[in-house]
Amino acid sequence: MGRVDDAVAILRLTVKEFPRSANAYDSYGDALLAQGDTVNALVNFKKCFAMDGTMTATREKIDAIEAGEKGK
């Protein structure tokens, strides 16, 4: 719907309210990535994966971002 900035703001609050939720960090990372903020998206994806190592899709996002950074 094109409301990425709104999603980022809401998910930032979600992470503050639910700091033990791996899914909150993953969703926040997705929103940051949609906003073009790969640095902070990567930080949040890594927090998510550290909390829940079974989230293989998050691991794939981390790998993709890191591969893109190495390719620059």
Q: What is the pLDDT of residue 3?
A: 93
**Closest to 29 in 3D by CA, of 71, 50, 72:** 50
d(CA 7, CA 15): 12
**Quick one: pLDDT band at residue 69, thresholds 50, 70, 90?**
confident
pTM score, whole prediction? 0.91
Query: Half-sphere exposure of 58 toward its Cβ, with a 13 Å CA cutoff?
Result: 23
17-44 confidence digits (pLDDT tens): 999 999 999 999 999 999 999 999 999 9
Per-domain residue ranges for the chain? 4-70
CATH class of 4-70: mainly alpha
- Find out whether 35 and 27 touch, Cβ atoms under 8 Å: no
pLDDT at 72 over 60: no
d(CA 6, CA 44): 18
